[in-house]
Every structure is written in C-alpha cells, then in structure tokens.
C-alpha cells in the first residue's frame, strides 16, 4: 500500500553543506526503501513529503525524529496515497529562501497547503 507522510521541523543550524549531506544520505537510503519525496527548506524550516510503503515511511520518520539536525519534528499527515506526486525524486530538494518569509511557515500549514506549496515549488523546476 502506497502512503504519503508530510512533516515539518526546525532546522538546527546545519547550513547549506549540512542540507547537502542530508540529501545525499536520504537519496541513498530512500532508493533502497522504495521511498520518493521532496524537501523544501529555508534558513529556519524543513518541510518534507515522503511517499512509499507505510512501514518504510514509519521507520524513516522515526529516524528523522531522532536526528539532531531537526528540532520539533511535527507530523502534518500520514495517509494512503493513490499515486505518487513526486515519483521521479528519491529526494528532491528546493530552497525557498527567495520566497517572502511569511509565505513559507510550515507550522501554519495543513496537509493540503503543504502539498500545494511543495507542488508549486516543484513546478518552478528549482530543485537541487
């Protein structure tokens, strides 16, 4: 069964090089687990959508929640998905530093607004 998990967390001063390390680790592990997804970030927040088998997503989320590079890991949604929204990315990434600071505030997002935000960023083609 395909599932979708969306969460946000506060970034713990990892900087650009730290984000690149997170992406490298995620891409290697996600491919092996059948997980796809996208990570949006600015200098304060991470917003991530992961898609794949429910048990693999559960393990991944628990790992993220224990990761010292994240603070305040908060689940927004964990639901069944009919199809992948990010099928081509073992882990796509988009910096949202160019957006208005008030426009990217994951704690105020619902699952629907988080997905809209991620899909709209995906449409810009600005991925790492």
Q: Convert the pLDDT of each residue in 46-91 to its tens digit.
A: 899 999 999 999 999 999 999 888 889 999 999 999 999 988 887 7
Nearest CA to 60 out of 30, 90, 95 is that of: 30
Check pLDDT > 80 for residue 100.
no
- Rounded-to-10 torsion of CA 48, 50, 56, 61: 20
**Is 72 strand, coil or helix?**
strand
Check pLDDT > 80 for residue 38.
yes
pLDDT at residue 96 in the model: 78
Residues in the chain: 128
Per-residue confidence at 95, pLDDT binned at 50, 70, 90?
A: confident
Nearest CA to 67 out of 114, 6, 110, 25 is that of: 25
Query: The whole model's pTM is what?
Result: 0.87
pLDDT at residue 7 in the model: 96
pLDDT at residue 71 in the model: 87
Q: What is the average pLDDT across 79-107?
A: 80
Number of neighbours of residue 36 by Cβ within 10 angstroms: 20
Do 10 and 16 form a contact (C-beta atoms < 8 A)?
A: no
pLDDT at residue 109 in the model: 94
Do 33 and 56 form a contact (C-beta atoms < 8 A)?
A: yes
Q: Which domains occur in the chain, in start order?
A: 2-124 (3.30.70.100)
pLDDT at residue 40 in the model: 87
Per-residue confidence at 102, pLDDT binned at 50, 70, 90?
A: low
* 15-33 and 54-66 helices, crossing angle to 10°: 150
pLDDT at residue 30 in the model: 86
Secondary structure E strands in 23-91: 36-41, 45-53, 70-80
């Amino acid at each position: 069964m395909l599932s979708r998990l969306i969460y946000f967390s506060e970034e713990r001063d990892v900087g650009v090089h730290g984000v690149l390390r997170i992406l490298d680790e995620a891409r290697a592990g996600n491919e092996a687990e059948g997980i796809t997804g996208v990570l949006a970030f600015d200098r304060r927040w991470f917003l991530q959508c992961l898609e794949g088998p429910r048990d693999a997503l559960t393990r991944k989320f628990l790992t993220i929640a224990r990761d010292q590079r994240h603070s305040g890991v908060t689940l927004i949604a964990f639901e069944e998905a009919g199809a992948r929204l990010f099928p081509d990315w073992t882990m796509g990434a988009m910096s949202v530093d160019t957006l208005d600071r008030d426009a990217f505030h994951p704690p105020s997002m619902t699952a629907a607004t988080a997905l809209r935000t991620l899909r709209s960023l995906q449409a810009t083609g600005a991925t790492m």
